[in-house]
Amino acid sequence: MAIEILIVDDNADIRKILNELIIDAGYKTRIAANYNQALTEIDKKIPDVAILDVKLDKGDNDGIELLSHIKSKNKDVPVIIITGHANVEMAVNSLKHGAFEFIEKPFDQTRLLNFIKRAVENVKLKSQNKEYEDKLFYSYELIGDSKNISTIREQIDKIGITESRVLINGPSGSGKELIARKIHKNSKRNSKPFVILNGALLEANKYELELFGEEKENGSISYGALEKANDGTLLIDQVSEIPLDIQSKILRVLTDQKFKRLNGNSDVNVNVRIICSSSKDLKEEIKLGNFREDLYHRLNVFEINIKPLNQRISDIPLLIRYFSKKISENYNLKNLDLDENDSYVLNHFWHGNVRELRNLIERIAILQPDTKDKMSNIIKESLKNDDFGEKLSENNLSIPLKEAREKFEKEYLTVQLKKFKGNISKTANFVGMERSALHRKLKGLGIKEFN
C-alpha cells in the first residue's frame, strides 16, 4: 500500500525539510501551512500518518485540536506532534489525546525518521489485521445441522436479496454479527459499506454523535455511522441499550431517510439498510418502558432467532471440526486432534456460546498440546468455572441420593438426546443402553422424546 503522510507546519523551511526527508524515505506527502489548510486536507482525505506542529496561526494548541479531529475520523491514524515550545504538560496533553509520538524542535532527522517508520509499520500492521479479520469473518460459515441453524440459513437466502429491515435475537456470542454479515453479503449492497454501531459500548452522551456525526464551528465535519453506511448496511448491535431519546430520532430517520448532524442546519439524505441485534427480549424491554414499541415494529420487519449453543448440541461436533480446521490453517499448524464427541465439552453450558467454543479451540492451537492428556487438561482448565459435573454436584449436595441420581440422569439423557437430535438408537448406543431400556428410562424420568 502507498503510504501518504500529511505535513502541517507554519514554517516554510520546516515544511521543506520534512517533505524532502519523507519523500526520500519512499512515502507520498501532502502539505498544509496553517490550521484551515490542514482541516481542508484532513476532510478531503484522511492521511495514513500525520505530522503536526502544535502552534499554528489560530492559537497555542492548534495541533492538539487537529489531532482530536483526526482521531474523531479514524482513531488508528498515527499522529506525530512536533513543537518548538515543548514542556511536560504539552507532551502529556498530546499523548493523552492519542498522539503516536512527541518530538521537540530542532529535531534530530534520524530520530524523526525512526518515528515515521514505526508509524508506517503500525499503519500497515493494522491494515493487514483488519484485512485478515474481515477476510476471516467473511470466510466463516454458519455451521450446524440443527433445525435452528438450517432454518436461519434458509431465512438468510430469502431476505438477503430484499431491502427489509431485520431484527436478530440471540445470546451473546451466538453468531448474530455473522448472520448480519451474511445477509449483507447476499444483498445488492454487498459492494458497499457494512458498518457496526455497538449500542452497549457507547457512553450515554456519545450515541447521537456516533450515529449522526457533527458539524464543528471551524467548518469541519465528523461523520456518523449512518453516513459511513450510506448505500450499504448498518448493524446496530445491542439495540436495546440505545437511550429512549435517541430511539425516537432513529425512528424519524427510518421514516424520513434523512437527519441533521449535531450542530447542523441542513438535512443529510441517506439510503441505508438497518439490521439490529439484541441479546435482550425487546418485548420485555417495551413492557419495562426501556424500548419504544413503535420503533420495535419498524425494526422487526423480519425476525431471526438464534438459540444458545447448549440448546443445539448436535452443532458442537461440527463446530469443533470446522474451527479446528480453520484455526489450524490460519496459524499454519498441523491439524488439531480434538475429540468432537468429548462428553466434557458437549455437557459444558457454553455461556459464551460459539465465541467461547472458538476461543477454546484457538487456545488449544496456540498452546499445541502434544498428548491427549495435556489437551484434556487445557479443556478442563478453560471450562472449569462452568463445569457441568461441578454444577450438578453443588446443586445436589442437599438432596437425597435417589433424587440427586434421578436429576443427574434426567439432565444427562436430555443433553444426549439433543446431541443426537432425538434419535433413540444413536442415543442408546452412545450411553450404552438397549433401545427399549432407554425408552422406559425416558418415560420414567418424564423426558419427552422428540424428533
Residue that is written with C-alpha cell 444426549 in the block: 416
Segment 379-397 shows an average pLDDT of 56
pTM of the model: 0.61
Contact call for residues 376 and 339 (beta carbons, < 8 A): no
Q: Report, as an integer, the average pLDDT of 373-398.
A: 63
| pLDDT per position as a tens digit, 292-349 | 999 999 999 999 999 999 899 899 999 999 988 888 877 777 777 777 777 778 878 8
Using pLDDT thresholds of 50, 70 and 90, give the confidence band for residue 86: low
Q: Is the dihedral of CA 99, 102, 106, 112 positive or negative?
A: negative
Q: In whole angstroms, what is the distance from residue 303 CA to residue 291 CA? A: 17
For residue 254, is pLDDT > 60?
A: yes
Position 134 pLDDT exceeds 60: no
Mean pLDDT to the nearest integer, 247-262? 92
202 closest CA partner among 169, 239, 171: 239
As a dihedral over the C-alpha atoms of residue 175, residue 179, residue 180, residue 185, rounded to 10 degrees, the angle is 140
CA-based angle 66:203:268, to the nearest 5?
Answer: 65
- The residue among 388, 426, 391 whose CA lies nearest residue 310 is 388
Local structure of 137: helix, strand or coil: helix
Residue 397: per-residue pLDDT? 46
The reported pLDDT for the residue numbered 145 is: 92
Look-up of cell digits 462428553: 343
CB atoms closer than 10 angstroms to residue 402 = 8
SS3 call for 135: helix
Span 215-225, average pLDDT = 80
Q: What is the per-residue pLDDT across 223-245, written as a single tens digit (0 to 9) for each?
A: 899 999 999 999 999 999 999 99
With beta carbons less than 8 A apart as the criterion, state whether 238 and 278 touch: yes
Region 409-432 average pLDDT:
79
Residue 160: band (very low, low, confident or very high) from pLDDT cuts 50, 70, 90: confident
The cell numbers describing 75, all together, are 482513531
At 400 the pLDDT is 63
Half-sphere exposure of 325 (CA within 13 A, CB side): 10
Angle at 241 between CA 240 and CA 242, to 5 degrees: 95
Tally Cβ neighbours within 10 Å of residue 143: 18
Q: What is the mean pLDDT of the chain?
A: 84
Please give the average per-residue pLDDT across 247-272, as a whole number: 91
pLDDT bin (cut points 50, 70, 90) of residue 87 is low
Contact between 53 and 94 under an 8 Å Cβ cutoff? The reply is: no
| Cβ-contact 256, 148 below 8 angstroms | no
Judged against a pLDDT cut of 70, whether residue 162 lies above it is answered with yes
Q: To 10 degrees, the CA torsion angle through 298, 303, 309, 313? A: 170
**Locus of grid cell 451473546:** 172
Q: What is the reported pLDDT for 223?
A: 86
Tell me the C-alpha distance between 79 and 63, whole Å. 10
357 neighbors 338 (Cβ within 8 angstroms) = no
Angle, alpha carbons 390-396-400 (nearest 5°): 150
Give the residue from 130, 95, 119 showing the smallest Cα distance to 5. Answer: 119
Q: Which domains does the chain have, with CATH numbers?
A: 4-132 (3.40.50.2300), 144-307 (3.40.50.300), 310-386 (1.10.8.60), 390-445 (1.10.10)
Who wins on pLDDT, 58 or 199?
199
Please state, for a pLDDT cut of 70, what percent of the chain lies above it: 89
Q: Supply the pLDDT for residue 451.
A: 53
The region of weakest confidence among 25-29, 66-70, 90-94, 363-367 is: 90-94
Residue 85 dihedral angles phi and psi, to the nearest 5°: -125, 50
pLDDT at residue 393 in the model: 43
Q: What mean pLDDT do residues 90-103 have?
A: 81
Tell me if 262 sits within 8 A of 301, measured CB to CB: no
End-to-end Cα, the chain, rounded Å: 55
Distances (CA, A) of 376 to 234, 340, 364, 384, 386: 41, 12, 10, 12, 15
The Cβ-side half-sphere exposure at 76, using a 13 Å CA radius, reads 12
The whole-number pLDDT of residue 357 equals 92
Q: Residue 141: CB partners within 8 Å, gap ≥ 6? A: 322
Q: What span, in angstroms and rounded, lies between the C-alpha atoms of 166 and 153?
A: 14
Q: Name the band, by pLDDT with cuts 50, 70 and 90, for residue 387.
A: very low
DSSP letter (8 states) at residue 303: E
pLDDT of 133 over the 70 cut = no
